[in-house]
């Protein structure tokens, strides 16, 4: 043992945690986070808790949603591109809130990382801040935790919790759904943030396709397609609910279209959906073809091109479609709600065939 080893004690930095790097990361992303705010935010960054003035409501109901982005992170890390994963994180949280009609108020993120590289952390937070701005909610602080020995230096995971509010009388849900309601689909931007374990297994591990390889049917590289950010529907859904008789929404995530829509269809009713009304995005066709994945497996794993669904009164269906068109959101009539032939059964049924690609 040298004299230096005898006289130098252990330190947090020697154990793998660099507090100074964390401070530098905060310096880089603080201006970005400050842009994602709302008038109700009180105080600033750096406090032990974020403060938010709820405002005036008659009978407010708070809604909360927590989520992550799954193994889409593995693609971002393999490509060393970290500025879009935050938008995915925001979308996965806030688009769950609006299903019940809640307006997203704020979001808090958590980043666990093997080694803090300030530029990487700032890039992640940049995406989160941009997503919050798009959703109309504040980024009300968060946490970055360095986990040496648990995660490799280039590895990280992200999660977040978002909070929203809805007046009790404006709460949306299965109790409002009626026979004759129209089911309107809003197009997804691609895989969103679900099914990446299967997508990676088929495309990267089994087929060996390179992330930087151009795929003609996608019109870009595979990596660019896989990192396409999850669409944020929050403001669009709230606008629809304000102008049309919307009974509920369904965010199409893990489990697929039928399973997620079934969660908001009450007992005794069934949503009958028609595959012939849309063609799944090329990425879904590529996965199915390359991996020889059966349709039932595709439909219970991926959104298949439908990211959000609105269940609207028959009288307001055309108006809702016109509003979505005006907002440049691709949308179409997906099906209708009817009384179940079985009487006490409920759910969603996909019928018909997809149009030829």
Q: What is the DSSP string of 221-279?
A: EHHHHHTPPPP--HHHHHHHHHHS-EEEEEE--TTHHHHHHHTTSPTTEEEEEEGGG--
Tokens of 221: 């590289």
Q: Is residue 195 part of a domain?
A: yes
264: pLDDT strictly greater than 70:
yes
102: pLDDT strictly greater than 80:
yes
Task: Please count the structural domains in the chain.
Answer: 2
What is the extent of the structural domain holding 277?
174-351
Mapping DSSP to helix (H, G, I), strand (E, B) and coil, where does residue 220 land?
A: strand
pTM for the structure as a whole = 0.91
Nearest Cα to Cα of residue 233 among 194, 191, 185: 185
What per-residue confidence (pLDDT) applies to 328?
96
Q: Tell me: the pLDDT tens digits for 48-83?
A: 778 888 888 899 999 999 999 999 999 999 999 999
What per-residue confidence (pLDDT) applies to 344?
56
Question: Quick one: how far is CA 112 from the chain centroid?
Answer: 19
Judgement on whether residues 188 and 164 belong to the same structural domain of the protein: no
Q: If you average pLDDT over every residue of the chain, what do you get?
A: 91
Last-in-domain residue among 170, 192, 227: 170
Q: Is residue 293 part of a domain?
A: yes
Q: Is residue 50 part of a domain?
A: no
Q: Is residue 277 part of a domain?
A: yes
Give the Cα separation of 139 and 50 in Å (integer): 9
286: pLDDT strictly greater than 70:
yes
Q: Tell me: the pLDDT tens digits for 115-146?
A: 988 888 889 999 999 999 999 999 998 888 99
Judgement on whether residues 241 and 117 belong to the same structural domain of the protein: no
Edge-to-edge strand ranges of the sheet holding 269-274? 246-251, 306-312, 182-187, 331-339, 269-274, 347-351
Q: Is residue 278 part of a domain?
A: yes
Task: Judge whether 253 and 300 are in contact, CB under 8 Å.
Answer: no
Q: Is residue 322 part of a domain?
A: yes
Point out the least confidently predicted range of 27-31, 118-122, 262-266, 307-311. Answer: 27-31
Edge-to-edge strand ranges of the sheet holding 60-68? 60-68, 156-167, 103-113, 138-146
Question: Quick one: how far is CA 81 from the chain centroid?
Answer: 18
What per-residue confidence (pLDDT) applies to 356?
84
CATH number at residue 134: 3.30.1330.10
Judgement on whether residues 105 and 183 belong to the same structural domain of the protein: no
244: pLDDT strictly greater than 90:
yes
Please give the average per-residue pLDDT across 209-223, as a whole number. Answer: 97
What per-residue confidence (pLDDT) applies to 3?
46
Judgement on whether residues 262 and 305 belong to the same structural domain of the protein: yes
Judgement on whether residues 119 and 210 belong to the same structural domain of the protein: no
What per-residue confidence (pLDDT) applies to 61?
96
Judgement on whether residues 157 and 178 belong to the same structural domain of the protein: no
85: pLDDT strictly greater than 60:
yes
What per-residue confidence (pLDDT) applies to 232?
98
18 compared with 307, residue with greater pLDDT: 307
Q: Tell me: the pLDDT tens digits for 7-38?
A: 556 655 655 666 676 666 566 667 777 777 88
Q: Is residue 108 part of a domain?
A: yes
Judgement on whether residues 63 and 91 belong to the same structural domain of the protein: yes
Q: Is residue 343 part of a domain?
A: yes
Judgement on whether residues 250 and 320 belong to the same structural domain of the protein: yes
């Amino acid at each position: 043992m040298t004299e230096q080893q005898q006289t130098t004690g252990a330190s947090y930095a020697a154990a793998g945690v660099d507090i100074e790097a964390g401070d530098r990361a905060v310096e880089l992303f603080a201006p970005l986070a400050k842009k994602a705010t709302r008038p109700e935010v009180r105080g600033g960054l750096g406090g032990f808790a974020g403060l938010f003035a709820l405002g005036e409501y008659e009978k407010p109901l708070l809604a909360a949603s927590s989520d992550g982005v799954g193994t889409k992170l593995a693609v971002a890390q393999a490509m060393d591109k970290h500025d879009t994963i935050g938008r995915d994180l925001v979308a996965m949280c806030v688009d769950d809130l609006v299903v019940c009609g809640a307006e997203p108020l704020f979001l808090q993120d958590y980043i666990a990382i093997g080694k803090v590289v300030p530029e990487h952390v700032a890039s992640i937070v940049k995406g989160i801040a941009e997503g919050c701005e798009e959703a109309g909610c504040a980024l009300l602080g968060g946490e970055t935790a360095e986990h040496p020995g648990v995660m490799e230096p280039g590895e990280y995971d992200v999660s977040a919790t978002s909070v929203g509010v809805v007046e009790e009388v404006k709460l949306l849900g299965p109790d409002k759904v009626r026979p004759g309601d129209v089911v309107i689909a809003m197009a997804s931007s691609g895989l969103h943030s679900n099914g990446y374990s299967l997508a990676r297994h088929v495309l990267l591990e089994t087929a060996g396709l390179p992330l930087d390889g151009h795929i003609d049917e996608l019109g870009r590289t595979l990596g660019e397609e896989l990192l396409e950010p999850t669409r944020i529907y929050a403001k669009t859904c709230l606008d629809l609910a304000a102008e049309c008789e919307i009974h509920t929404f369904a965010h199409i995530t893990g489990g697929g279209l039928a399973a997620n829509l079934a969660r908001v269809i009450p007992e005794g009713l069934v949503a009958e959906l028609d595959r012939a009304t849309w063609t799944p995005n090329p990425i879904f066709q590529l996965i199915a073809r390359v991996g020889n994945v059966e349709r039932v497996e595709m439909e219970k794993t991926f959104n298949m091109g439908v990211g959000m669904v609105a269940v609207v009164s028959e009288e307001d269906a055309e108006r809702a479609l016109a509003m979505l068109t005006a907002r440049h959101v691709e949308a179409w009539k997906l099906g209708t709600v009817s009384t179940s032939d079985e009487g006490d059964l409920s759910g969603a049924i996909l019928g018909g065939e997809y149009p030829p690609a």
